[in-house]
Structure 1
Amino acid sequence: MEWNWQRQDWPNFRFDLAATESLEKQFLLQSGKLLGASCHLSDEDQDQIRVQLLSDEALLTSRIEGEILDRASLQSSLQRQLGLSADSRRVSPAERGVSELVVDGYRGFDQELTLERILKWHRLLMQGRGDIEVGAFRSGGDPMRIVSGPIHDPRVHYEAPPAADVIREMQGFMNWWNGVGRSLPCLARASVAHLYFESIHPFEDGNGRIGRALSELAVSQSIGKPVILSLSRVIDSKRTAYYDALARGSRTLVIDDWVAYFSKALLEAQVLSLRSVEFLIGKARFFDRLDRQINARQEKALLRMFREGVDGFQGGLSASNYRAITKAGTATTTRDLAALVEIGALRRTGERKHARYHLNLSAPSSD
């Protein structure tokens, strides 16, 4: 099988910009909504939103690669990276590394991208690893292959350029990034950047995480503002579709299908980020509205519900959930939940043992 980098005109990717023009316009329109959504919030609330969104992306970009991180430790590390007050909990090298990477991409979106910066990202991401070359492009004579199946009969999904060619290929990538890539519309630039980088596969490990970071950096630079997209959430929820599209794109230089697929993924990621921002803004207003109307048990349960994110508790909060969270007795639970419904904090569906409670973010403000 011939891979894209083996074709004579590599890396001259070809695609029709007109095919995704409507997606580009939609993305730019949504960008204005996303950037303006939190402009009326306090600095503290905006900081909390940044930490929440960055931690979600960092968690999921690691989970895609099979690495499970602790959310609380990751958020603590992000708060330190952003210069915010944080607790003194222990943070593992993996959590610290990915937090430093996403913050560097976010805060340094307008800084020049160089090979040294990409190698720095790899050092951050792989700190503590002793089984691979850290902060260096892969070397050695063995082919870099993505395979599945048994060892005696593996299925090769992709084979990257030889290690001896990686530096030259990455220099070509940088020339594209600072040259032709700059002239492309936002989604097209991010799409080609991701496929181009993943095709080179310059590292022993960490290519996916750095490739996603490059895509988000391309978007931020195109818009001229740092943005946080839920790209890893989209990929994580549809991994098979992502890997299938990437596999098809790695076999050809005519990449209309890939650009269309990845542009739609970026647009979906933007919509999810906007939903998350609106949810977190709603959370801030929610607790402002309930100021001095709820007790410590109720606040603990509500905060636990918010931790579930935009989609909330699957099926809604039950009385037994409330008792487990608050350690309250049955009678106290009944009174607490009834009071939360009465003041508009929760909506109730169902009756008796089938009653379920949902956050009511749409209740009107008292002011």
Structure 2
Amino acid sequence: MQTPQTWIWQQADWPQFRWNEAGLSPLLAQARLAQGKVLGAARLLDSSLNLEAVASILVEDGLTTSAIEGEQLDVDAVRSSVARHLGLPTAGMPAPPRAVDGLIDILLDATQRHDQALTSERLCAWQAALFPTGRSGLHPIRVGELRGEAPMQVISGGVGREHVHYIAPPRDGLDAQLQTFIDWFTHAPAGMDGLVRAGLAHLWFVTLHPFEDGNGRLARALTDMALSQDERQPMRLFSLSAQILRERESYYAILERTQRGGLDVTEWLAWFLAQVAAAASAAETTVANTLAKARFWLRHQNTPLNTRQRKALNRLLDAGPDGFEGGINTRKYMSLTKTSRTTAYRELAEMVEKGCLVPTDKGGRSSGYVVAW
């Protein structure tokens, strides 16, 4: 008796994806408009500010692509790694762990070198960079090579309540399937829209699930690579991972529905294009914040501030007008700058006196300060 088809890769004509171009046309136009706006806004920045905006996006990308998988990275470690990679000041920053450096290596390799050939060796190197100790958490895993013979399943729930979200293609034939994907990625059909290609690449790679771990992060890096190729830009100006994190529940739901269905992937592409549009729109705020930060430091270029005060102000400025909930207070300043309560209170008061900070409207325990934008 023939086993009924359950997964998309079991379809007879896999991987011949189909989609409704007319149905996607309005979403594609919206995504292109949002993409064009953020690229246009970035042209207002000079090279140093553009680099700062890229650094902010890269930090966000590193934090969020890991958070999607349930891994919370230390923000200071990610900032430090990004600064080191981009040649920005690193004074007072911690030395980042190897795994964080490896993740930033991948994100930059995918975008700065988007014009270099994608190969299985390059993918294996990316996966190895994610797991420099050869372990995922406490568990040893294969690094720098494709997964082993054991079935690859995505499962949630405790013992006895397991829910199988997905079963990947078997190991036998995986090398050939991955090479088919790489060949398509390298020579996509003529006339295929670049955003559609990025959405298909994401779905195809994560469906193959070629490694024991890290497949989601690698799929998102590949998506960034495809977007950089589409824009012909070596730096990302919006974070798709940040948007996927905001829609994490629907991300996993649409993936599961698509991977359990046929080869018409219109629904997945519609979801993906909507996220591109939302991510690009959100990035306009990042560019605006970068300009506002530059104006702030221009006003205060001669204001005497110590290293702790500058660190706190930069953290507030990087977060944007609404990004640092409740502003900063004595307790938060102590934690951020590793100083005493007395020093924290005095230095915050000095920044208010110098016009860098203003008190919030809240009093009592909720009292704090925000940037004088």
What TM-score range do you get, normalising by the shorter chain? 0.7 to 0.9
| Mapped pair 1:359 → 2:368 | no
Q: Where does 1:119-138 land on structure 2 (aligned, <5 Å)?
A: 119-130=124-135, 131-138=140-147
Deviation string, structure 1 residues 140-173 (Cα, Å, up to 9, x no partner): 1x21111112333421111000011211111221
Cα distance change of structure 1 residues 217 and 314 upon mapping to structure 2, 3 Å threshold: same
**Alpha-carbon contact 2:53-2:237 (below 8 Å) kept:** no
Secondary structure at the counterpart of residue 51 of structure 2: helix
| Cα distance in 2 for residues equivalent to 1:154 and 1:300 | 46
**Alpha-carbon contact 1:298-1:336 (below 8 Å) kept:** no
Q: Percent identity over the alignment?
A: 34
Cα shift at 1:293? 4.5
Cα shift at 1:309? 4.4
Deviates more, 1:207-216 or 1:236-245: 236-245
- Give the match for residue 364 of structure 1: none
Secondary structure at the counterpart of residue 158 of structure 1: strand
Unaligned runs of 5+ in 2: none
> Which residue type is aligned with residue 273 of structure 1?
A
> Which residue type is aligned with residue 251 of structure 2?
Y
| Cα distance in 2 for residues equivalent to 1:96 and 1:300 | 22
| Cα distance in 2 for residues equivalent to 1:348 and 1:19 | 51
- Give the match for residue 44 of structure 1: 48
| Cα distance in 2 for residues equivalent to 1:337 and 1:82 | 29
- Give the match for residue 305 of structure 1: 316
> Which residue type is aligned with residue 359 of structure 1?
V
| Cα distance in 2 for residues equivalent to 1:28 and 1:116 | 33
- Give the match for residue 100 of structure 2: 95
Cα distance change of structure 1 residues 181 and 333 upon mapping to structure 2, 3 Å threshold: same
| Cα distance in 2 for residues equivalent to 1:96 and 1:206 | 15
> Which residue type is aligned with residue 230 of structure 1?
S
- Higher-RCO chain (CA-CA 8 Å, sequence separation at least 6): 2
Cα shift at 1:205? 0.3
Cα distance change of structure 1 residues 184 and 319 upon mapping to structure 2, 3 Å threshold: same
| Cα distance in 2 for residues equivalent to 1:77 and 1:358 | 27
**Alpha-carbon contact 1:138-1:166 (below 8 Å) kept:** no
**Alpha-carbon contact 1:146-1:159 (below 8 Å) kept:** yes
Secondary structure at the counterpart of residue 183 of structure 1: coil
| Cα distance in 2 for residues equivalent to 1:108 and 1:119 | 16
- Give the match for residue 284 of structure 2: 274
- Give the match for residue 325 of structure 2: 314
Cα shift at 1:43? 3.4
Cα distance change of structure 1 residues 154 and 302 upon mapping to structure 2, 3 Å threshold: same
> Which residue type is aligned with residue 268 of structure 2?
W
| Mapped pair 1:65 → 2:69 | yes
Q: Which of residues 10, 13, 17 in structure 1 aligns to 2:17?
A: 13
Please report the TM-score for the alignment, with normalisation by the length of structure 1.
Answer: 0.85
Root-mean-square deviation (CA, aligned residues, Å) is: 3.0
Q: Which of residues 258, 261, 264 in structure 1 aligns to 2:268?
A: 258
Cα distance change of structure 1 residues 323 and 352 upon mapping to structure 2, 3 Å threshold: farther
| Cα distance in 1 for residues equivalent to 2:302 and 2:231 | 42
**Alpha-carbon contact 2:103-2:130 (below 8 Å) kept:** yes
Deviation string, structure 1 residues 167-196 (Cα, Å, up to 9, x no partner): 111122123223345632132111111111
